[in-house]
Structures are given as C-alpha cells and as structure tokens.
Amino acid sequence: MFYRPTKAYINLKALRHNLQQVKKLATASKVLAVIKANGYGHGIERVAKQLTSADGFGVASIDDALRLRQKGFLHPILLLEGVFSKEELSLVTQNRLDIVVHSQYQVEWLLNQRFEQSQNIWIKINTGMHRLGFEPDSISSVIAQLQSSENPFNFTLMSHFSSADVATEVGEKTTLKQLSCFEKFKPDQFTASIANSAALVRYPQSQYDWVRPGIMLYGAGLGTQLLNRYNLQPVMRLESTIQALHWVAKGESVGYGQKWTASEDSLIAVVAIGYGDGYPRHAKNGTPVEIHNQKVPLAGTVSMDMITVDVTKIANQVSIHDKVILWGSQQLSVDEVAEHSGTIGYELLCGVTQRVPHIEENA
C-alpha cells in the first residue's frame, strides 16, 4: 500500500504506441530503442517489456545490458559508450553484446582480445558534437586496424547530432553540416546510424540503416507541435493531491525566502510533492500545475516535500485531497514544466526519486 499520495503512473500502452509511430516514420530502418538511465526514469525492465518489437536496445553501460540479459531479453543490445575497461570484453562476448568504439584505446583492447564468434562493432565518428568519437579523417585508419585483426568484426558507422532539436537557422545549419560530414566519411559498404529522436522527425534524410529513438518513445522532448503532429503520447504522469488550503492576505508571502507575495487575497493549495520526489526546486513562480483540467501557477519556493500553488481562480472548485497533475497529461507536458524550470524534460523524467511509487497503467 502507498500512503503518500505522490505517484508516477506509467502508461504501458503509450509506450507501445509511440514505438509504432517511430516505425511508421522510419519504415526502411531498424529501430534501436534507447532505454538508458533506467528507461529515462520509467524503469528499464518495464520499458523493455513494452518495446519488444524494437530491433534492439541501446544502454549506457554493461550493468544495464546484463540486467536485461538476466531477465531473458535476447535482442541485440548496444553499449552506447562502449566498454570502460578491457575486462568487460569477456562479458561482452559471453552475453552477445554490441559495442560502440570511440577511442584508440578501445581499438587496442579489441585487437588484443580473441573473439571466437562474430562481434558487432559500432564505430563512432565525431562529426561536430565534440564529445565522443574519432575525427573523421582518421576513420579509414581505424577501420583498417580492426580489419587487420583475425577477429570476425561486423561494422556499423555511427555519429550523434548536437542540435537536431534546435528549430533555428543555426541549429539546421549545424545539423546539415554534421550530416554532410557523416555522409562524406561513411564507407558505403557498412551499415550506418545517426538519427536520434529529433532527427527522425525533422531530418528524414538521416534515417540510415538504424535509427536510435530515445525521448520520443516516452512522449516528450520534441515540443508540443511535433508531439501532436506525430501522435506521440506522454508515458509518465506525475500526480499528487492537495493536503491543505488556506487564504493569504494581499501583501503576505508564501514559502522559503519570500519569493512570492500575494498581489491580492489569494487561496493557496499545498500539494504533497517536492524536490525530495524529483519535482525541480528551481521551478519558477508561475510554473503550471493542473487541477480540475485547468492550469494554475506555482507560488513560492519548492520545498523538499511540498509545493504551494495559487488556486484563487478556481477557488470555488478545489477541495482537500483533490488530484494534482504535475506533468504528463495531454495539456501539461513535462517539457513545459522543464522550460519554466530552466532545464529539459529528460532531466525531470530521470530525476523522479525512489520514494515515488511507479504504477503501471495499460489504458
């Protein structure tokens, strides 16, 4: 039994639906469903069970991959950062994992390891993200080194966009420059992958052999217009309830630091959620929450266990124990809350803490 009213509801049907929408967008590509960071905060095993029709999974570390294998998932699993030590390579072979190679030291580990069976290698090119990956003019040398080995390697070339989600002229210019670089240095005989969620919908020409959707699978990250256009549904709905209501006189302040002062006599609702649950402490006054299908503004600093909301405009409708949606309804997205908090929806989804029960829905 869950006594505290704060809960995260996970819509399993929405997960499956979103994957089908991805497949409609990339009919000629295989789909590597990215489920790192504990399935973007939704639960990696829960997510994987709903995304079994994907062609493979992408994770950040071997720990996640082993967890999936232990639960019986037989899909190709790609380690998106590769291995962090050469000792991991034995686990890679034992568990039939695919690995990204982004640095020369990883190449040397591979050359010094004996692989009895074919090993899938995803070679990462730095096309402008400047995070991981080989410089483009070194790719032919890297491939030659690996091909000189007696090990049976299968190659995929990959890169990652830095600005595919940025709907500006600069964002488009940067993305097209990266795509041009990738196309120039990608050997034609190898399979290829560069499209993330944003590129899937904004740059269909980037859909090579594999696409790598992440945040879009969870119904977030693309902005309301694109989410609606491609019928992507929110998967996590974060809810709590009103635990107190009281009137505050004009000129009185609410919460730590007196960050919000009533401009008129105001009805304040205290909601049982705070940064201890993963609601962002840096959410600004005016950040919307939803009560009775209406958006009402945050009023005052977020506390560890509570937030305060100005419900004056719906004073005649609200009562103790009324439901409050913090994000995840059709009219209040996690991205909107993130924008008011100076962050991104990814962080909020991943940041819901362990004390919040995750409850599965299949509606």
- Residues noted as catalytic: 36, 256
Beta bridge partners of 308: 270
Separation between Cα atoms, residue 247 and residue 249, nearest integer Å:
7
Helix 104-111 × helix 139-147 angle, to 10°: 10
Amino acid at site 166: V
Separation between Cα atoms, residue 177 and residue 325, nearest integer Å:
41
Per DSSP, helices labelled H in 237-304 are: none
Beta bridge partners of 79: 59, 99
Q: Which of 102, 141, 138 is nearest to 121 (CA)?
A: 102
Helix (DSSP H) and strand (DSSP E) numbers for the chain: 12, 18
Separation between Cα atoms, residue 149 and residue 143, nearest integer Å:
10
Three-class DSSP category at 160: coil
E strand or H helix that includes residue 45: helix 44-50
Distance spanning both ends of the chain, measured CA to CA:
21
